[in-house]
Amino acid sequence: MNHKAYLALAIPLIFSTITTPLLGAVDTAVVGQLPDPANIAAVAIGSMIFNTMYWMFGFLRVSTSGFAAQANGAKDETGGMLAITRPFLLAAFIGVSLVALQWPIAKWSLPLLSSDPQVQALAADYFSIRVWGAPFSLLNYVIVGWLIGMSMIKFSLFLQVLMNCINIALDILFVKGLSWGVSGVAAATLIAEGTAVIIGIIVVWRASPFKLRLPALKKIIDPSSFKKMMKVNRDLFIRTLCLLTVFNLFTAKGASFGTETLAANAILIQIHYIMAYFFDGFANTSSILTGRAIGSKDFVLYRKTLKLSFQWAALSSIIIAGTYYILSEQIIGLFTKIPGVIETVGVYEGWILLFPLAASFGIVFYGVFTGATEAEPVRNSMILALLVFVVSLFIIVPFAGNHGLWLAFILFSAGRSIFLVMFVPRLTRKLFPSVK
């Protein structure tokens, strides 16, 4: 494994993963062309609710990828089928449950995230339409995670790009052409997610490296294997709750500074998502290689993966920060034309330049741990980083305002990286105890 082979996996994975935040980014950009900043704020609030719902169950993609990569490395056909069957059934159940619980979710979350009646009304319209896509979104996590774990990168890329192309086309049609506003943005995302799942099932069926057979029920619910999957999912679930706590506290606190600041923060957070998912492409690469190394018991591949992960986390953070610095004016212009919001973004955008440098190692090495299906260190490092954020929030924000809010977020991001990397030596000893 060398840089060329690593990048051969990473580049298509970057394009695949970076399409995920583009759903929210495109939604924000389209409504950003409307004259009232309340539209941007409403989509920001609505997107935050769905980020909360979906990210809580993001383990469906991550753990599926890790278990599939290990089965692929071990050439375990039955393990490969179980790696998609178990989370697929779980995703369907969770998705339907979220639809059934839509009324209490909206009633409790909207007032927490905004006190503006107009923003709340628009966000409620957005939520009431897009919530029907919950099963599709979670099933898509499983499909994409399995394709990535089985090293079928081009198919995962195809599905993600297709979903975003449909979303963009329908956003323009519904908002620009039919003047449906925020409701049109939600409808476009719903249709795009549903279409992606239908086509994804067809892709899995036709592209699988082995004959697809539904495993026996006894194997699906095998206590030891099921317990391991749920343990990994539990730790990743807690990790995600910590992450979502940070973003919800960030959004709620930002809302207290006024609608324009909320809108500006929403745009910068969307840019942050794109940066984070860029790193996630490297994380997925490291996850595949780590899973493959463990499945084949190849310590040399594992050690090389660690080295490449470190090098590309460092290099890509510089590239991403530099690219945004050069193109920031053009990037912000894609999101909004409202002068007040643009001016407010300019006040705070310097913080987003620090994000890649602070977060890169935490995100990339997250892939190493998930590929090893060792999620406990991920959970513990995120809990520690959350504590850093909360303490910073209470100490810095009262006198530094929105600048203090962004500083707290950067400290949290740096904490993610530092605390997780500290667990790498322990992970190595656990996976390869006989190697000195």
pLDDT in tens, 89-142: 889 999 999 999 988 888 887 776 666 777 778 888 888 899 999 999 999 989
Greater confidence (211 vs 151) lies with: 151
User: What pLDDT score does 59 carry?
Assistant: 77
User: What pLDDT score does 225 carry?
Assistant: 64
The one-character DSSP state at 179 is -
User: What pLDDT score does 213 carry?
Assistant: 64
> What is the full DSSP assignment across 185-235?
HHHHHHHHHHHHHHHHHHHHHHH-SS---PPPHHHHT-HHHHHHHHHHHHH
Range of the domain at 203: 3-431
For residue 116, is it left (φ>0), alpha (ψ between -120 and 50) or beta? beta
pLDDT in tens, 350-364: 999 999 999 999 999
CA distance 234 to 229: 9
Distances (CA, A) of 239 to 394, 416, 435: 22, 11, 30
Domain assignment present for 378: yes
CA distance 400 to 406: 10
Q: Which two tokens stand for residue 107?
A: 């009633």
Domain assignment present for 120: yes
Q: Residues 6 or more apart from 35 whose CB is under 8 A from it?
A: 338
Tell me what the mean pLDDT of segment 230-252 comes to.
85
Tell me what the mean pLDDT of segment 206-215 comes to.
68
Band (256; pLDDT cuts 50, 70, 90): confident
Q: How many domains does the chain have?
A: 1
Domain assignment present for 329: yes
Tell me what the mean pLDDT of segment 316-340 comes to.
88
**pLDDT at residue 190 is higher than 70:** yes
CA distance 346 to 400: 17
Domain assignment present for 436: no
Q: Is 246 exposed, middle or buried (0-12, 13-18, 19+ CB in 10 A)?
A: buried
CA distance 360 to 316: 8
User: Of the segments 2-16, 68-82, 342-356, which one has the largest average pLDDT value?
Assistant: 342-356
The one-character DSSP state at 131 is G
Which amino acid belongs to residue 431?
A: L
Domain assignment present for 301: yes
Which amino acid belongs to residue 12?
A: P
Query: Is the whole model's pTM more than 0.95, yes or no?
Result: no
Domain assignment present for 350: yes
Domain assignment present for 401: yes
